[in-house]
Amino acid sequence: MGIDAHVFLSDLARGLAPRADQLADVVLQHLLGELPEVWKYEDIAAQAPVGLSEHVAASLDFLERGLDMT
């Protein structure tokens, strides 16, 4: 008897939601290291943290609700 993947992902997303900002920061730091040339553009550098936080929050919400992300 296994666990349903949708239930698992929903529980995982619910548990991670309070730490969404931390998750976004980790991804942002990774992007800074992997794509340093992108950050010379001020408009991207200014918008990236906000946009990334919104995407992380939306992704966790989709997973928590069991919605199809396609």
Residues 6+ apart with CB under 8 A from 59: 13, 69
User: Are the C-beta atoms of residues 49 and 28 closer than 8 Å to each other?
Assistant: yes
- Whether residue 2 has pLDDT greater than 70: no
What is the pTM for the complete model shown?
Answer: 0.79
Mean pLDDT of 41-66: 92
**Cβ neighbours around 45 below 10 Å, total:** 12
**8-50 residue pLDDT tens:** 999 999 999 999 999 999 999 999 999 999 889 999 899 999 9
